[in-house]
Amino acid sequence: MSAHGHDHGSGHAQGHGPGSHGAHAHGVSAGADGRWLATALALITAFMAVEVVVGVLAGSLALISDAAHMLTDAASIVLSLIAMRLAARPARGGFTYGLKRAEILSAQANGLTLLLLGTWLAYESVRRLIDPPAVEGGLMLVTALVGIAVNVAATWCISRANRSSLNVEGAYQHILNDLFAFIGTAVAALVIVLTGFRRADPIATLMVVALMAKAGYGLLRDSGRIFLEAAPADVDPDALGDRLVALPAVVEVHDLHVWQITSGQAALSAHVLVEPVGDCHAVRRDLEELLRQDYGITHTTLQVDHAPEQVFQVALPGERPRLDDPGHCEEAHGPVHREEPHEH
């Protein structure tokens, strides 16, 4: 029988782990985190308007690029706030997990905007390296120093939110990269004031572009893993399966799936076979406790059945029985874990 198509009334034990419906935190708090994000948004929006004007007057690409980056910062925070409100909605209708992955969509959008903005800034920087325009270094330096102060405050606000959420982390990376951009702009402005070396402006921008590319790639990679339903980065499914099958009375574990619903919320399902005389309910409780204590996985669906007794009868004395009877499961999705050497 298939673990996923198995009738609920036929299995000896099947269900969610303790606390899987409310005892553990799903995603982030839309209240406290929302207030921190909104404070950062107000700081960024106010300064961005001033910076655009000063950047045009000073003729500084670094300042204009910082302002453009701050616009994406503001957009990323707005997107994060919307995603948090959507994720907080209860599951209903066809959305059996609710809209929790709206946060992951937001993280992907933040990562993509970082890469796209970085590409444009890289192009402009190279163009200005070839033909550097005149830059008003003093005005550029003062604005950059004020920008550092504003971004330090905004970064601190978002760091107070729950950064285990990829959604919040996306907004945080935008603000943090903007802080680095202002530091680079301040250094470039100081170089221009002291030496007149105008190419310091695009060089500083290129350094920030590298940081933006790194942060954008990281967000796309981590959010992509969740959309592809890969196991959490800190969980090895093969090692996890071996630990489950090592518990007393467990004969085999197959159809083992571990994935993330959203940031910080992992889920697991598996079909477990126990010895014919084993206590399915006790085994399920032991498995759930192991998953909760050692892996922090509390959202579990375990189908626990007795292994076919006739398979045990044909095993030779001293041999570990192999459960190749097509009746117990037509097709296992992924490795089959037994307490013996097996393919990983």
Reported residue count of the chain is: 344
**Among 260, 258, 237, 261, residue whose Cα is nearest residue 337:** 237
Q: Please report, to the nearest 10 degrees, the dihedral formed by the alpha carbons of residues 72, 78, 83, 85 taken in order.
A: 170
Q: Full-prediction pTM beyond 0.85?
A: no
Handedness of CA 172, 176, 177, 178 (dihedral sign): positive
| Residue 315: exposure state from Cβ atoms within 10 A (0-12, 13-18, ≥19) | exposed
Banded pLDDT at 314 (limits 50, 70, 90): very low
Say how far apart CA 113 and CA 109 lie, in whole Å: 6
Task: Supply the angle between the helices 166-195 and 200-227 in degrees, to the nearest 10.
Answer: 170
Q: Please report, to the nearest 10 degrees, the dihedral formed by the alpha carbons of residues 67, 72, 74, 79 taken in order.
A: 180
Highest mean pLDDT among 87-101, 158-172, 247-261: 247-261
- Any bridge partners for residue 254, and if so which? 271
Half-sphere exposure of 170 (CA within 13 A, CB side): 36
| Per-residue pLDDT tens over the stretch 249-292 | 999 999 999 999 888 889 999 999 999 888 999 999 999 999 99
Q: What is the mean pLDDT of the chain?
A: 79
Query: What are the CA-CA distances from residue 137 to residues 11, 144, 145, 187, 206 (Å)?
Result: 74, 10, 12, 10, 18
Instruction: Tell me: pLDDT of 122 over 50.
Output: yes
| Per-residue pLDDT tens over the stretch 23-60 | 334 444 456 678 888 888 888 888 887 877 777 777 76
Would you give the distance in Å from CA 136 to the centre of its chain?
41
- Residues 87, 100 contacting (CB under 8 angstroms): yes
Percentage of the chain lying above the pLDDT 70 cut: 79
Half-sphere exposure of 344 (CA within 13 A, CB side): 10
pLDDT for the residue 118: 87
Banded pLDDT at 86 (limits 50, 70, 90): confident
Alpha helices by DSSP H, listed for the chain, are 32-58, 61-87, 102-130, 137-159, 166-195, 200-227, 237-245, 280-295, 309-313
pLDDT for the residue 17: 43
